[in-house]
Amino acid sequence: MDQQQLKTLAGDLLEGHISIEQFVRRMTTPATINLNESRVDLDRANRCGFPEVIYGEGKSISSLQKITATLREHGHEVLLTRLSSDKAAAVSALHSNCVHNACAKTLRVGVGSNSDSNSWASLGRVCVVSAGTSDLPVAEEAKETALWTGVTVDTIYDVGVAGPHRLTEELDTLRAADAVVVVAGMEAALASVVGGHVSSPVIAVPTSVGYGASLGGMAALLSVLNSCASNVTVVNIDAGFKGGYVAGVIARQLGKLREEA
């Protein structure tokens, strides 16, 4: 913990934002724990606002169980992504309060009694929009990630540009969001259309859904990179996690500003 982090932590204690117990725990918790095959970053929540996220592909069940247990032992709510059902079952068996989304391939460990929330105060609102049902796995990954960041999440699914009236029916929900995640394949035109209807940031998530000329999502990626809607920004192909995470960060910051006003 550097000097600036110490000052911030001391200030939070003096202003009553954290308890004496929280202060002591943060002061005495090591920055990392070495599990041999992995080094768990326990200080990330202090530095970046959220704990370390576990990427499931390529990791053994044993590694996933050890990393999850270490994070839980230090009070962190855990998000695992790109997780097969057998791995999710193995990790869930060791913990209570788990939410497994098989479509999204995510597992949230340590959530509150409401599966659509966690123990952090809900700050901000995110809306996740999908163009088609085929985009649902990526949209659900974005939704689960945003929920993990502690924001309220609305979903609007299957409102692609082939049926434009479906989107306009949902404009009130769209405009209530602090950040919008738009998940779309094919030509991914939906992101630009949404951007033209809202004043909030729009995070476009191009997907690999499409026919041969979609080139595994490259056509969608290039399309949203060239969006003429000025409030549209872009993450990688099929990166629902990245879209949901960035939207959560934006929404929570705006929520905090409203709370302090």
**Per-residue pLDDT tens for 136-162?**
999 999 999 999 999 999 999 999 888
Please list, in sequence order, all residues whose beta carbon lies within 8 angstroms of the beta carbon of residue 169, skipping any fewer than 6 positions away: none
Helix 61-73 × helix 85-92 angle, to 10°: 40
How do the domains of the chain map onto residue ranges?
29-109, 125-260
**Per-residue pLDDT tens for 208-222?**
999 999 999 999 999
**Cβ distance 128 to 153 under 8 Å?**
yes
Confidence (pTM): 0.85
- pLDDT over 90 percentage in the chain: 65
State the pLDDT at residue 96. Answer: 86
The fold for domain 125-260 equals Rossmann fold (3.40.50)
State the pLDDT at residue 45. Answer: 79
Q: Is the pLDDT of residue 121 over 90?
A: no
Helix, strand, or coil (residue 255) = helix
Please state whether 124 falls in left (phi above 0), alpha (psi between -120 and 50) or beta.
Answer: left
